Amino acid sequence: MKIINRADKNLIKKINTNSILKTIRERGPISRADISKIVALNPATVSSNVSDLLDKKIIREVGIGESSGGRKPILLELNSSENYIIGVDMGIKKVTTALVDINGNVINKVILQFSEEKDFDSIGETLKESIYKVVEGYDDNFQKTIGIGMGIHGLVESENGISIYAPAFNWHDINIVDIFQKEFNKTVIIENDTRAMALGEKWFGATKDSKNFILLNIGTGIGAGIYLNGDLYKGNNFGAGEIGHVSMTNEKIKCKCGKYGCFESIASGEGIVNRFESKIKSGRKSSILNKMDISNISSLDIYKEALNGDQLSIEILKETGRYIGTGISMVVNILNPDSIILAGGVSRAREFIYEEIQKTVFEKSMNHNLNNIYIGETSLKQDAGIIGAATLVIRDLFSI
């Protein structure tokens, strides 16, 4: 007979609690009896685990369910009024911070721009300010906040809470978790921003049922969150997903990473503006120049002008779609994912880029890898970053 020791017992309890909590999250409101059937555990075990979760206020009892004769069962659901999370999505130019409940609903949101100072002290102060601001007038919610999740630009060593390298700010080895835990006295979990987005998409977005998918974030930078075999893939040195730095052109365009011709240097917001400017310099006309000086044009202006029918703006955006399609075909061929989800500011120019993306992906990928592939937008829209950041903490809660 195998003797089950205390460590085994704890592990078994943890596994049981996890599957019960997962069932309540996915199927709630749900009765103890139905949980028992779904997770294949006896009613007494379910009851004792449920009691623990009720004591910890992670779940709550609600209403009365349908009865199949006899006493009507009480239903269980996640306790969204007792568990809040702060999600911080740190971009390159701004930070978006939100107060989120355990079901991924955004309760309050603030956006702060970074100043010109890019050292950690300055950026860090703005991040802290955004957290204080988002809970202003929400004292009770802040009390019930179980943690702060942060999506950080660049290379992140999540387990030790360290931002290894942030290319846009040129900082190295900052222990972000330490700094923010001391400031707010809450659990803090960090991850690369795009990787956090992919996690949010898995829990609350378009890829709930997906096992292998890529979230491609195209905005001020370009990165990919890779979700493989049911988990985030981080790589040997936490550098997986840096698809923005694959070489895509032989033109000598310098990228932030120090190399030349990167995907990001031509297809990010800045890349779009640069290509537009060089066409203007070579003599092309655009109605945008009747409205503003060439030095002030943003990629959003180019999108708006394309909507007005400006030929050059339309051409530049369609070309962007082809670059993005080429980038996607690389991951389709290498990783054979079931879904590709697009997020970030540039992906919102859908009228001009989507058709080109689809066409290019189908032109450049191996046919076999295209079977049943889904290519679409994040269903979390502009909140993908903050929901993703909050999910870092929610996932941690669910792994009790």
Binding positions for Zn ion, rule: CB under 5 A:
245, 255, 257, 259, 262
Kindly list the distances between the CA atom of residue 180 and the CA atoms of 90, 188, 326, in Å, as whole numbers in the listed order: 14, 7, 39
| Closer by beta carbon to Zn ion, 60 or else 245 | 245
Rounded least distance, CB 270 to Zn ion, Å? 12
Closest CA to 61 of 40, 41, 35, 84: 35
CB of 251 to Zn ion, least distance (A): 13
Dist. CA 154–CA 233, nearest whole Å: 15
Task: With CA atoms as reference, report the closest residue to 135 among 144, 125, 124.
Answer: 144
Least distance between Zn ion and beta carbon 257 (Å):
3
Q: How far apart are CA 347 and CA 220, in angstroms?
A: 11
- What's the min distance (Å) between Cβ of 259 and Zn ion? 5
Nearest residue (CB) to Zn ion, 109 versus 275: 275
Least separation, in Å, of the C-beta of 263 and Zn ion?
A: 8
Residue whose C-alpha is closest to residue 240's, from 360, 334, 341, 365: 334
Which residue, 146 or 255, has its beta carbon nearer to Zn ion? 255
- Give the residue from 91, 90, 87 showing the smallest Cα distance to 106: 87
Of 102, 385, 353, residue with least CA distance to 223: 385
Q: Which of 226, 208, 184, 169 lies closest to 88 in space, CA to CA?
A: 184
- Can you read off the two tokens belonging to residue 123? 């950026």
Residue given tokens 């007792």 in the structure block: 82
CB of 257 or CB of 280, closer to Zn ion: 257
- Rounded to a whole number of angstroms, the minimum distance from the CB of residue 191 to Zn ion is 21
If the CB atoms of residues 259 and 285 are measured against Zn ion, the closer one turns out to be 259
List strands edge to edge, sheet with 59-64.
30-31, 74-78, 59-64
Q: How far is the CB of 81 from Zn ion (least distance, A)?
A: 45
CB of 260 to Zn ion, least distance (A): 8
Nearer residue to Zn ion within complex by CB, 259 or 291: 259
Our CB check for Zn ion shows the closer of 135 and 346 to be: 346
Tokens of 339: 């879904």
Tell me how far apart the alpha carbons of residues 107 and 228 are, in angstroms, rounded to a whole number.
31
Closer residue to Zn ion (CB): 200 or 344: 344
Please, are residues 85 and 102 in contact by the beta-carbon 8 Å criterion? yes
Q: Residue 45's closest CA among 36, 54, 53?
A: 36
